[in-house]
A = this chain, B = another copy of it.
Amino acid sequence: MSAVTAAAGGTEDVVDLVRTAIHQGEFVPNQRLVEADLSVQFGASRAAVRTALVQLAAEGLVERVQNRGARVRAVSLDEAIEISEVRMVVEGLCAAKAAERATDDDLAVLREIGSDMQAAVDRGDVFGYSELNRRLHATVRGVAGQKVAGDVLERLRGQNVRHQFRLALLPGRASVSLPQHLEIVDAICARDPRRAESAMRAHLASVIETLPQVASGPGR
C-alpha cells in the first residue's frame, strides 16, 4: 500500500501515473488494472482512468480485452529479443545520422558521457553507469534529430524497461559494454556514419546475446 495516492483529476495525468507505476514495478506484469480501483487510488474519475487505459494499450504497455478489463502486459523473453533487434537497427540509423549531423558541442557532450562512463566503471558504480547508459542512447537519438525514430525507440524502450533494468544488474556487464559504448562515441566523433552504425549494432547485438541470461537471473 505504498502506492502513489496523489490526487490528479486530469485524464492526462493518469496516463503518466500509471505509466510510471508500471515502469517502477509498482504494477507487476499480468496484474489486473481495475478501473474502479485505479480511480480511487489516483483520485480521478473512472472515465479518466478508462481513457488512460485505452491510450496505454495503444502504447503497448497494457493489454485490454473486451469485457474483461485491462492488465499489465508481460513481455516474454522472445519478445524482448525482438524488441532489441528492432532497436538495434533503428538506433543504428540514429547513430549514423548523429555522426553526420553532430555539432562540435554535441561531440563534447558525447565525449564527456564517455569519460564519465569510464569513471563510473572504475569506481564500480553500477547505478551511475546505468544512468549514463540511458543518457548516451538518449543523446545519440537527440543529436540524430530523427523525431520518428525517436518516437519508435521511446515506445519500444517503454515496453522493455524491465528487461533493460535487470540487464544492468548483471555482474560484469559493464566491463563488456563499456568498450562498445566508447567505440560508438569514437565513431560519431570521427563523423563516420557507417562505423557509428556498425558500432551501435554491435553493441545491441551483444545486448541481445546477453538477454537470455537475464531472464532467469537477478530480480526474479
In the bound assembly, the distance between CA atoms of A140 and B85 in angstroms comes to 16
Task: Indicate whether A51 reaches chain B with its CB closer than 8 angstroms.
Answer: yes
- A155 CB to closest chain B CB (Å) equals 8
11 A-B pairs whose Cβ atoms sit less than 8 Å apart in the complex: A50-B51, A54-B55, A55-B58, A60-B151, A82-B146, A85-B146, A86-B146, A86-B152, A89-B89, A89-B92, A148-B156
Q: CB-defined interface of A33-75 with B at 8 Å, one 1/0 digit per residue?
A: 0000000000000000011001101111000001000000000
Q: Is the CB of B156 within 8 A of A79?
A: no
Q: Is the CB of A83 within 8 A of B156?
A: no
Interchain CB contact (< 8 A) of A54 among B51, B92, B147, B156 = B51
Residues from 182 to 208 in A contacting B, C-beta threshold 8 Å = none
Q: Is the CB of B92 within 8 A of A147?
A: no
List B contacts of A151 (CB < 8 A).
60
Q: Which residues of A contact B (CB under 8 A)?
A: 12, 50-51, 54-55, 57-60, 66, 79, 82-83, 85-86, 88-90, 92-93, 146-149, 151-152, 156
| Residue in B closest to A160 when the chains form the complex, CB atoms | B148
List B contacts of A90 (CB < 8 A).
86, 89-90
List B contacts of A149 (CB < 8 A).
82, 85-86
| Residue in B closest to A85 when the chains form the complex, CB atoms | B93
List B contacts of A60 (CB < 8 A).
151
